[in-house]
Amino acid sequence: MREPPRTSPRPGDRSPTPRSGRRPRRPRRSGSRPVGGVRDAPRMRPVVGRLHAQGLDAPRFDSAGQVVRHLGCVQSQLHDMALWAIARRTDGLTHADLQQAFARGDFLRTHVLRPTWHFVDAADIHGWLALTAPRIRRLMAPIDQGLGLTDARLDRCTEVIVASLADGATRTRADLGADLAAAGLEHSGLALAHVLMHAEIDAVVANGPLDGKQHTYRLLGPGPVAPPRDDLLALAARRYARGHGPFRDKDLAWWTSLTLTDSRRAIELADLSPVDVDGTPHWRLEPPVDAEVPHVMLLPNFDEYVSYARAPDDYAAFAGAAQDVMRGTGLLMVDGLLAGTWTRKQSARAVDVVVRASGSVSSTTRRAVEAETALFGRFLGREARVTVVS
C-alpha cells in the first residue's frame, strides 16, 4: 500500500438480506418532526469531518481509481450501487464510465476486508492482503472445517483454478466450479464460494470484467515483497484516517478485520492526531475542515460513509431499527444524518425512485431530493422520476 500524503503539518457490514418477494419495511415514523435541521448537534462534529474525508462535501475526484485509492477500499457486494458510491464522489462520471474502468482493471474487486467484497486499487491489493489475510483465514476456519475444506484440498483447488485462468483467461464462478468438478474436486454453494475466497485472500485471483451480468475471475500478477507488519499496520491506519476520519479504534478494527489490540497499535504507529467527540476518543490524519454539509444525499446502504454504524444511534437520531434501513436500496441522508431510505426500479429508459423519509419533508428538502435523484438518473443514463413518502 502506498503512503497517503500529508497535506498539512501535524497538530500537538453484514447487513440482513430481504427474502425474495418481500417488500422492505418502511422506517417507523416520528410524527411530524421534520427531517434534517440538526447541523449544530454534537454528533455533527465527526459527521462534518467525515464528509470531507469521504469526498462527499464536494466532488473533487476525476476517476474511479482516485476514489478507491483515497478511501482505501470500497465495499462492493452490490456492484452497481458500489459504482454509484464512487460516482457520487466525482464530477459526473457515469455507470458506463465506471464499468469501462472496471473492465480495464483500473480498480479490482475481491474479498480483502472482514471478509466481504470490496473494490481496491490494483497497486494496493497485495499490501492489504498481506495485512488482513491471516485474520480472515481464522474467521473463515470454523466454516471451512464444517465444509471439509482442509489446507491440502484448498491447495489442490487453487492449482486447478490457476490452470483454468492461465494465459489471461477469465472464467465465471460456474465455469470454475465445472473445472474443479472435472478435476474430481466438486464443490457448490457455500463450499465453492469459500474455495474461491481462499484463492482471493491468497492473492491468486480477483474479479475480472463482467461477462454479461456475471462476475468473472482472473489471475493476479505477483506482488512486491510485503513490508514489515508494523509498517502495514501504520499504513492501514493512515489510509483509513485519510478516507474515514475522525474514527474510533473499534471502527478501524471492524473495517480491517484486525483485533482491537492491533487497531490500537496501528493508530499509535501511524502517529495520528487525537480528537475528543462527546467524551469518546477519535483519531484523524488532518486538522478539521470547515466542510459544507450537502442538504440531501442518496447513498447506497453499504456506502463507506456509514461503515462505522453498528446500531441505529451510530447513523443518527433515527426512529427506526438498523435492520429496517438496510432493507432498501439505499440511505436518505439529510444534513449529513440518516433520515430515511430509498429504492429504485429501472427500465430501459427510466429509473423510478421512491424515497421514504422518517419524518415530514419540507419543500426545500423535497427540491433537494429531486435534484439528487436527477443526479442519479444522469449516472444511469436514464430519465429519473421520484416519489417522496413521509
In this structure, how many other beta carbons lie within 10 angstroms of the beta carbon of residue 187? 20
Looking at residue 7, what is its pLDDT? Answer: 42
* pLDDT at 108 > cutoff 80: yes
Give 355's contacts (C-beta < 8 A, 6+ positions apart). Answer: 298, 332, 340, 341, 342, 369, 373, 386, 387, 388, 389
For residue 211, the model assigns a pLDDT of: 97
For the chain, report the end-to-end CA distance as a whole number of angstroms.
Answer: 45
Q: In this structure, is the dihedral angle defined by the CA atoms of residues 277, 283, 287 and 288, taken in order, positive or negative?
A: negative
Q: Are 93 and 344 in contact (CB under 8 A)?
A: no
pLDDT digits (tens, 9 = 90+) for 198-241: 999 999 999 999 999 999 999 998 999 999 999 999 999 999 99
Cβ atoms of 195 and 231 closer than 8 Å: no
Confidence bin at 41 (pLDDT 50/70/90): low
pLDDT band of 292, cuts 50, 70, 90: confident
Domains of the chain (ranges plus CATH)? 124-219 (1.10.10), 229-284 (1.10.10.10), 293-390 (no CATH)
* Cα–Cα distances in angstroms (integers) from residue 128 to residues 124, 136, 201, 219, 258, in the given order: 6, 12, 10, 17, 12
Q: Which tens digits make up the pLDDT trace of 72-89?
A: 999 999 999 999 999 999
Q: What is the DSSP letter of 196?
A: H
Confidence of residue 21 (pLDDT cuts 50, 70, 90): very low
pLDDT for residue 6 is more than 60: no
CB hemisphere CA count around 49 (13 angstroms)? 20
Strand order in the sheet with 296-300: 296-300, 330-334, 337-346, 350-357, 383-389
Residue pLDDT, tens place only, 145-199: 999 999 999 999 999 999 999 999 999 999 999 999 999 999 999 999 999 999 9
Mean pLDDT is lowest, of 27-31, 124-128, 348-352, for 27-31
Do the Cβ atoms of 379 and 84 come closer than 8 Å?
Answer: yes
Q: What is the mean pLDDT of residues 293-310?
A: 87
Max intra-chain CA distance, the chain: 64
Question: Do 157 and 163 form a contact (C-beta atoms < 8 A)?
Answer: no
pLDDT (0 to 100) of residue 4: 58
Beta partners for residue 172, in sequence order: 216
Q: Which residue in this structure is represented by grid cell 473499534?
A: 250
Task: Give tens-digit pLDDT for 55-77.
Answer: 999 888 999 999 999 999 999 99
* In the predicted structure, residue 20 carries a pLDDT above the cut 50: no
Give the confidence band of 313 by pLDDT, cuts at 50, 70, 90.
Answer: low
Confidence of residue 132 (pLDDT cuts 50, 70, 90): very high
More confident residue, 2 or 385: 385
CA–CA dist 390, 376 (Å, integer): 21
pTM of the model: 0.88
Q: With bands split at pLDDT 50, 70 and 90, how would you rate the model's confidence at 34?
A: confident
Q: How confident is the model at residue 22 (pLDDT cuts 50, 70, 90)?
A: very low
Average pLDDT value over all residues in the chain = 87
User: Among residues 208, 277, 211, 216, which one has the least CA distance to residue 249?
Assistant: 277
CA distance 361 to 297: 14
Higher local confidence (pLDDT), 340 or 374: 374
388 bridge partner residues: 355
- DSSP string spanning 26-63? PPPP-TTPBS---TTSTTHHHHHHHHHHTT-SS--BSS
pLDDT at 252: 95
Instruction: State yes or no: pLDDT of 312 exceeds 70.
Output: no
Average pLDDT over residues 107-131: 96
Whether residue 64 contacts residue 86, with contact meaning beta carbons closer than 8 Å, is answered with yes
pLDDT at residue 328 tops 90 = no
More confident residue, 310 or 192: 192
Q: What pLDDT, on a 0 to 100 scale, did the predictor assign at position 146? A: 98
Q: Which residue has the higher pLDDT, 358 or 354?
A: 354
Q: What percent of the chain has pLDDT over 70?
A: 83
pLDDT at 124 over 90: yes
pLDDT at 325: 59
Least confident range of 20-24, 181-185, 369-373, 377-381: 20-24
Percent share of the chain, pLDDT over 90: 71
Nearest to 238 by CA among 204, 203, 273, 211: 273
